[in-house]
Structure 1
Amino acid sequence: MTGPRTTEHLDESAPPARRFGVMLYPDQPFPVLVQRLGWLEELGFDQVFVPDHSADLRDPSGLWFDSWSVLAAAAVTTRRIRIGTLVANQILRPPAQLAKQAIALDHLSGGRFDLGIGAGLFPWDHHSVGQVPWSPKERAERFADYVAIVDGVLRGGVFSHQGAQLWVKDVVTVPGSLQSPRLPLIVGGQSPTLIRVAAACADAWNTHGPPGASAPEVLGITAEQNRRLDRLAAEAGRDPADIRRGYTIFGPWDPRRGRHGYEEIFERFTGAGVADFVLDWPGEAHREEFERVAREVIPPLRDS
């Protein structure tokens, strides 16, 4: 999987082709979700992602289907667009079983699945699986073992791992990922531990910026985190250019707030080292602008 060149590399060679995805929420009846998937594919988006929570974080009492069931529907009703999680939740799913779910969807989609993984956050996700909410320190400590197990199981065969927090023994996985040597892994998050894990083994890193930060702060922090990812990847013996960098457009940069347009966002974050952009689902009020951007703005940016 070819990764982007970050800001430090831009003077030496051209950056990678940009990719554009959309966050689709499992908050509608299945016929509506299938219709939305078809629309996103027709608009030419490269990727569609589904979040992984036990309830809708915007309205916990609202309609909210299991994300992995929605992804299965996406796998069989689309033909070109890549599908994935942004991000799968370590709180909800044991790592080896998560990897096997991802392998099944990789085969079901014909090799179009990207697995994003995050450390988890919300208390109600813990409560849904009978857990007392973990502290931020515990979530971070578990994450390195969690991703190591997912990575190993995705490669197929027999895998064991004995970590500081998590372990598995003789996990048999046949077949492995349809994509080789395994389906792509995206690490989503911003803590130093998550960035270090991304540097060690991920194919991509995705961020939406620190909650509560201003637009300039999000941009500056993203650029700095990209530089940190470069350093950590080199220390781990990897070429930093092998790790793609993604930004999910939330918070102060959200175009629906009326202060920043998509064109500005794509330009500014490309300069900060980002190659993959994930747009939030627009809603009916912003559908026309979203479609304009998909049809007119994005296509010439892919190879520019």
Structure 2
Amino acid sequence: MKHDLVLSTFGGDARAIVEAAVRAAGEGYDGVWVFDHLSSLASPGAPGEGAARDPFVLLGAIAARTSRLRIGTLVANIHNRHPVQLALALDTLGQLAPGRVVAGIGAGAGPGSPFAREDAAVGRTVRPAARRRELLVEHVAALDAIWRGEDATGSVATHGLSGVVVGPRPPVVIGGSTRATLELATRIADGANITGASGPALAERVAQVRAAAAQRPDGGAGFELSVFVPRSPAEIEATGGVAALELPDGVDRLTFLVRP
């Protein structure tokens, strides 16, 4: 099982975040992810304190300072940028870190979530879960079309656009907590990151995702399943280590949260 760090950008100093990624590489972690938020208003812990840093600027700096780490967003919010902008950012990052980029993508916050504060502040309507999943399908399909050299369709349609990407499409990992979103990931993405579950609930989610992934042409062998652990490695060690998490079989990667 591989171990990654998710570096929270809420209230963080950009230079310190990059240095943390360099240290993670030196300590043997397999990958580093960063959040994608417009403002620290979305922070569940200290809303409005400090600022939220741009994920792709951070990842570009991390790419330049490391040579082995897998890097990506956990997750890029589909509401923050058009798929063309996302493809451009990912492909540019791919030139800086060939073969190391992962496109973590999510459908955005639901009503009542702390993250919805960000949507309200920019006048964005928080849509129901079913509609957000529909938009997620459109955005992933648009990324696929852009990398095939074709136009995207639907609400994110393009018209004769070319010259956006030059490298291979990075793997797409969808972050989610519900059965519907995670099973959707097995149909349209290369992996899933499970959030908001532990114990028996996590075991149930893992079993559901693995069963759905088994219906893929490759039998699910190429589908990566990771779990978001909202605690740091130090906190995990202080409470019995990874073994105490009692993880079910079928998890490929753990992503630990590190706050500034």
Please, what TM-score do these two structures have when normalized by structure 2?
0.84
Q: Distance in 2 between matches of 1:28 and 1:67?
A: 12
1:38 matched residue in structure 2: 22
Q: Which stretches in structure 2 are left out of the alignment for 5+ residues? A: 110-114
Contact 1:249 1:280 (8 Å CA) reproduced: yes
Correspondence 1:203 to 2:190: yes
How many positions carry a matched residue from both structures? Answer: 250
Please list, as runs of the form range in 1=range in 2, the aligned pairs for 1:40-79 lying within 5 A after superposition: 40-56=24-40, 57=43, 58-63=45-50, 64-79=52-67
Tell me the secondary structure at the aligned position of residue 114 of structure 1.
Answer: strand
Give a deviation string over 1:67-108, Cα, whole Å, max 9, x none.
Answer: 221112111122211111011111211122212211111112
1:134 Cα offset (Å) = 1.9
Please list, as runs of the form range in 1=range in 2, the aligned pairs for 1:1-304 lying within 5 A after superposition: 18-26=1-9, 27-56=11-40, 57=43, 58-63=45-50, 64-121=52-109, 122-153=115-146, 155-162=147-154, 166-178=156-168, 182-210=169-197, 218-250=198-230, 256=235, 260-265=239-244, 268-269=246-247, 271-281=248-258
Contact 2:182 2:209 (8 Å CA) reproduced: yes
1:273 Cα offset (Å) = 1.4
Tell me the secondary structure at the aligned position of residue 125 of structure 1.
Answer: helix
Kindly tell me: are residues 173 and 236 of structure 1, through their superposed partners in 2, closer, same or farther at Cα, counting changes over 3 Å? farther
Name the Cα RMSD after superposition.
2.6
Q: Distance in 2 between matches of 1:94 and 1:128?
A: 19
Sequence identity (%): 26
Q: Distance in 2 between matches of 1:201 and 1:67?
A: 23
Tell me the secondary structure at the aligned position of residue 67 of structure 2.
Answer: coil
Kindly tell me: are residues 254 and 221 of structure 1, through their superposed partners in 2, closer, same or farther at Cα, counting changes over 3 Å? farther
**Larger Rg over CA atoms:** 1
Q: Which stretches in structure 1 are left out of the alignment for 5+ residues? A: 1-17, 211-217, 284-304
Kindly tell me: are residues 167 and 229 of structure 1, through their superposed partners in 2, closer, same or farther at Cα, counting changes over 3 Å? farther
Kindly tell me: are residues 95 and 191 of structure 1, through their superposed partners in 2, closer, same or farther at Cα, counting changes over 3 Å? farther
Amino acid at match of 1:54: L
Contact 1:158 1:173 (8 Å CA) reproduced: no
Tell me the secondary structure at the aligned position of residue 68 of structure 2.
Answer: coil
